[in-house]
Amino acid sequence: MSETIVSRLKEHRTFAPSAEFSAAARVTSHEAYAALYAQSLEAPEEFWRQQTTDIVWRKTWDTFCEWNLPHAKFFVGAKLNVTETCLDRHLTTSARTRAAIVWEGEPGDVRTLTYFELHREVVRFAAALADLGVVAGDRVAIYLGMIPEAAIAMLACARLGAAHSVVFGGFSAEALRDRINDCQAKVLITQDGAYRRGSVVPLKQMADKALLETPSIEKVIVHRRMDDGRAPVTMHEGRDVWWSDALSRPASEQSMGLARRPDAFDAEHPLFILYTSGSTGKPKGVLHTTAGYLAGAHVTTKYIFDVKDSDLYWCTADVGWVTGHSYIVYGPLSVGAACMMYEGAPNFPDWSRFWSIIERHGVSILYTAPTAIRAFIRAGDEWPNKHDLSSLRLLGSVGEPINPEAWVWYHTVVGKGRCPIVDTWWQTETGSVMLTTLPGASYSKPGATGLPFFGVEIEVVKDDGAKVAAGDGGKLVIKRPWPSMARTLFRDDERYKQAYWSQIPGVYFTGDGARCDSDGYFWVVGRIDDVLNVAGHRIGTAEIESALASHPSVAEAAAVGKPDELKGQALVVFVTLKSGQVASKALKDALAVHIDKEIGKFARPDQIRFADALPKTRSGKIMRRLLKEIASGTAQGDTSTLEDLGVLASLRASDED
Ligand code: WT7
């Protein structure tokens, strides 16, 4: 049987939720989903009014949506403070004493914060921030590991109306510096060190390096995570303050008052900026605003994760990525969920760690990434099989396409065939999930993401914007604005227009290729722009290339992806050297270290290949397709536009090591 027939047959393999799961779910049937979906498109305002009654509106909106392509405003005229929905409203219900965060450190320490305690900490920290001069409209950079303080810091900023910009702890000092400078952050919140796979990541030391060149920063708040001198810290007089000292000083009455009874902000007030990779070297500062973002995170969490009071929900992402923003912090807290949070690596001290956390704490909803699932498959079934996973009732996947084999393993070995899997497709820019299946309503197909979420009008189109036939591949576009969409790129509206709204007239282009089958299920293939998805991390090829080009030995570099069993895509770079420079193992190592320094260890290439020249078209464009084929070892395609055929032979000879 041909491969396409096999894969078509696989498309028809479906997994329906059990009758028991459906009966208890928020949406109990496909028909109910379809009816609500139809309402969300036909009467959007009514839909969002009904679905956002749990949001604490200090003032309701005058106009639901203002759409001036490509700029949207939602809930215009409304006033709210996001943290009242995430925290204060739970203080008058049984959620008050429920765990908001059950946190486990990598060394095994455990801390639980109830909604009451989380609220208290956020108020105290917001007062401290206000005392340090943070006011509404400011930007605050957050460079923390996976500790409850990350959520506390984000929420304290939101409480004051200061936009946070969380920088993933895996980013280097240089990457932190650039992000701080781009958003002109006034305050940086960091920690002495973070545990990762048994060692300590010296965040404050790295921040100190960044802070040599960040004139906008006035104050640095340092949380102490290490108590054994494992991450020595130098405090910079007049600038650096320990988190605990900031809290122990009595906040001024004014700051305390503001933290306790926070201001309400306009629906379109900036909530956060999050940097993500695009097709140029400079990261994009995706801007999300208050009401629409919260509405998106809230409603998706409610329906997709179907969270109940009895659940312990665990999203394994890092708060430094958008998944952590929407599905560790804002979404789950807005529905009053009890959230598991884990500091460290999935394989520390061994591959049991996730399963042991699930067993010991009773996690019932697990939301993780395909790259992690594939690593678990490789590590072996004995690890999950050693643990009692019977508390699990729902599984989720995010970040990249999940291959059917990984899906089936997740379903069988982790979910024991009992738990529906929701595959969720979305992006930093969409703010919340756009494609999925609702767990009690529709069947899943391994490998397909699923159906549009409420309010999402999404299609696969050709370059001219015409819809392709069912089953055909094309570009994935979103055809109408939705509440949690990015409003712009911070201080770069031109790039916002150009990156998302210029390729296909009138619609938002996601950068992904996809197809939609005859059942209406979307299959997302992956990026079709110059962006790679390596182990669930979005990496721009241009970013890698400009980092390499800044090394004194490098003349030119081209970065491409190649399929990788574990990471989805692996990063391969081709490098040409300046004259007089000699290709060597030592130089390869130096270039790898250079990438660590410029971007972060997670962006380290899987292969560095030296070449005499890069393949170019006659007009001088690097032929990436060709490089991709060479990196993947697949047959050579059309080389008719290649300028210098001799280049090919030498590239192929530039083996991996
Ligand atoms: C890109 C967005 C969404 C939060 C994490 C990543 C890919 C994401 C899926 C999925 C297939 C997926 C897409 C998308 N992607 N989820 N379920 N199936 N692909 O956020 O860094 O903004 O990356 O990740 O290519 O465009 P991000």
Q: What is the mean pLDDT of the chain?
A: 94
Distance 522 CA to ligand 1 centre (A): 13
Q: Which residue's CA lies nearest to atom 18 of ligand 1? A: 401
Position 1 scores a pLDDT of 42
Tell the residue nearest (CA) to atom 6 of ligand 1.
399
Query: How far is Cα 459 from Cα 92, in angstroms, rounded to an integer?
Result: 43
Q: Which of 85, 86, 110 is nearest to 100 (CA)?
A: 86
Residue 514 and residue 470 in contact, taking contact as beta carbons nearer than 8 Å: no
**Residue ranges covered by each domain of the chain:** 3-57+78-82+286-455+484-493+507-526, 535-652
Give 420-433 pLDDT, tens digit per residue: 999 999 999 999 99
Nearest atom in ligand 1 to the alpha carbon of residue 435 is 17
pLDDT of res. 643:
57
| Ligand 1 centroid distance, CA of 315 (Å) | 15
Q: Residue 636 — very low, low, confident or very high, per pLDDT cuts 50/70/90?
A: low
Spatial distance between the Cα atoms of 446 and 13, rounded to a whole number of angstroms: 7
Q: What mean pLDDT do residues 604-618 have?
A: 89
Q: Which residues pair with 194 in a beta bridge?
A: 201
Choose the residue to mutate in 279, 398, 478, 527 for probing ligand 1, maximizing ligand atoms within 8 Å of C-beta: 398
Task: Report CA(434)–ligand 1 centroid distance (Å).
Answer: 10
pLDDT of residue 385: 98
For the CA of 424, the closest atom of ligand 1 is 17
Cα 219 to ligand 1 centre (Å): 34
Residue 353 clears pLDDT 60, i.e. is over it: yes
Split at pLDDT 50, 70, 90, the class of 546 is confident
Q: Judge whether 145 and 169 are in contact, CB under 8 Å.
A: yes
In one-letter notation, the amino acid at residue 299 is V
**Does residue 616 carry a pLDDT above 70?**
yes
Inter-residue contact 625 to 648 (CB < 8 Å): no
What CATH number belongs to 535-652?
Answer: 3.30.300.30
How many other C-beta atoms can be found within 10 angstroms of the C-beta atom of residue 367?
22
**Residue 509 Cα, ligand 1 centroid: separation in angstroms?**
14
Residues 6+ apart with CB under 8 A from 623: 614, 615, 616, 617, 641, 642
What are 539's two structure tokens?
Answer: 């990496």
Please give the model's pTM, rounded to 2 decimal places: 0.93
- For residue 398, the CA-to-ligand 1 centroid distance in Å is 7
- How far apart are the CA of 363 and the centre of ligand 1, in A? 24
Distance between Cα 526 and ligand 1 center (Å): 8
State the distance from the centre of ligand 1 to the C-alpha of 376, rounded, in angstroms. 20
**Which one, of 541, 535, 513, lies nearest residue 526 by Cα?**
513
Which ligand 1 atom is the nearest neighbour of the CA of 527? 25
Ligand 1 neighbours, Cβ below 6 Å, are 276, 321-323, 398-401, 423-428, 449, 510-512, 524, 526-527, 533, 538
330: which DSSP letter? I
Domain 3-57+78-82+286-455+484-493+507-526 classification at class level:
alpha beta
* pLDDT, position 480: 98
CA 426 – ligand 1 centroid, Å? 5
Q: What percent of the chain has pLDDT over 90?
A: 87
Is residue 652 over pLDDT 90? no
Query: Which residues, listed in sequence order, are joined to residue 571 by a DSSP beta bridge?
Result: 561
For 146, the token pair is 């996976």
Pocket of ligand 1, candidates 400, 436, 522: which has the most ligand atoms within 8 Å of its Cβ, to mutate? 400
Q: Average pLDDT for residues 142-156, to the nearest whole number?
A: 98
Question: Is residue 639 scored above 90 in pLDDT?
Answer: no
CA nearest neighbour of 286 among 301, 270, 297:
270
Name the residue at shortest CA distance from atom 7 of ligand 1.
400
Q: Does residue 233 surpass a pLDDT of 50? A: yes
What is the C-alpha separation between 605 and 598, in angstroms, rounded? 13
pLDDT, one tens digit per residue, over 26-72 is: 999 999 999 999 999 999 999 999 999 999 999 999 999 999 999 99
Q: Which SS3 state, helix, strand or coil, does residue 301 take?
A: helix
What CA dihedral angle connects 33, 35, 36 and 39, to 10 degrees?
A: 150
Mean pLDDT of 615-643: 76
Atom 23 of ligand 1, nearest CA residue: 427
Nearest residue (by CA) to ligand 1, atom 21, is 538
State the Cα–Cα distance between residues 130 and 134, nearest whole angstrom. 5
Report the atom number in ligand 1 closest to the C-alpha of 397: 17
Residue whose Cα lies nearest atom 17 of ligand 1: it is 425
Residue 645 pLDDT: 58
Q: How far is CA 536 from the centre of its chain?
A: 9
Domains 3-57+78-82+286-455+484-493+507-526 and 535-652 share a fold: no
Atom of ligand 1 nearest to the CA of 402: 18
Atom of ligand 1 lying closest to residue 531 CA: 25
